[in-house]
Amino acid sequence: MASVKAFPNNPLQENTYILYDESGECTIIDPGMENAAEQNAVVNFIKNNNLKPVLLLNTHCHIDHILGNKFVFDMYGLKPQFHRGELDLLEAGIAYAPQFGLRYEPSPVPEVFLGETGTTSFGTTTLSLIFAPGHSPAHLCFYDQKDNFLIGGDVLFSGSIGRTDLPGGDFKTLITNIEQKLLILPDDCRVYPGHGPATTIGREKLTNPFLV
């Protein structure tokens, strides 16, 4: 069974996630650590739980989700994996960071790109890829069907949706992807978003003002 640990990081309060299971392997998703205290919190959790990081995933490459990519590479030798359509955003990070007052060491470039469909895995856990652009050009969500949870990035939030006024954003595309790809998941599917608290698909169907 996979477990999820969230770390709210950087001034934009981006959720960095560590997924781990009984194998002892773990995946780091959207590392937003900006400073030493945030980096230490993640490293100490991994060390204290005797975990072995084997994957670094980005749902998308807006600056607040990639701040820690270089740190994870330096610590664990992992290059990020994401959809090739996010590469321009990754490369733009060095220009965006100062605008948000963020300290950013440029991320390594992937050796492996993820597709629009398929899976990625670690330990005994398999994550299905859900291609859901609209907030960013090639945003991916990661769904664990066995344990019924979604790492949703900045697509669907508790009571809200991802903003669409950034480069590569499109409101209609985002809504269509949420309705056709996320809301078809089980109502009790737990959603871990890129910002804010966890929610469920069923709750968002009933109460999200953008979807009801």
Contact 42, 16 (CB under 8 A): yes
Mean predicted confidence (pLDDT) in 34-61: 98
Residue 96: what residue type?
A: Y
pLDDT for res 100: 84
pLDDT tens, residue by residue, 175-196: 999 999 999 999 999 999 999 9
How many angstroms separate the CA atoms of 193 and 67, rounded?
Answer: 17
Structure tokens at 188: 């009790």
Mean predicted confidence (pLDDT) in 9-24: 97
Going 188 to 42 to 121 to 13, the CA torsion angle's sign is: positive
**pLDDT at 47 exceeding the cut of 90:** yes
Confidence of residue 82 (pLDDT cuts 50, 70, 90): very high
Confidence of residue 168 (pLDDT cuts 50, 70, 90): confident
pLDDT for res 177: 98
**pLDDT at 167 exceeding the cut of 90:** no
Mean predicted confidence (pLDDT) in 195-206: 98
What distance lies between CA 34 and its chain's CA centroid? Answer: 16
How many angstroms separate the CA atoms of 58 and 61, rounded?
Answer: 7
Structure tokens at 52: 């072995």
3-207 classified as CATH 1.25.60.10: no
Mean predicted confidence (pLDDT) in 73-86: 98
pLDDT for res 116: 98
**pLDDT at 212 exceeding the cut of 90:** no
Residue the block writes with tokens 């990625």: 120
Nearest to 123 by CA among 39, 207, 192, 20: 20
**pLDDT at 211 exceeding the cut of 90:** yes
CA–CA distance from 111 to each of 56, 81, 130 (Å)? 12, 8, 20
How many angstroms separate the CA atoms of 9 and 47, rounded?
Answer: 19
**pLDDT at 162 exceeding the cut of 90:** yes
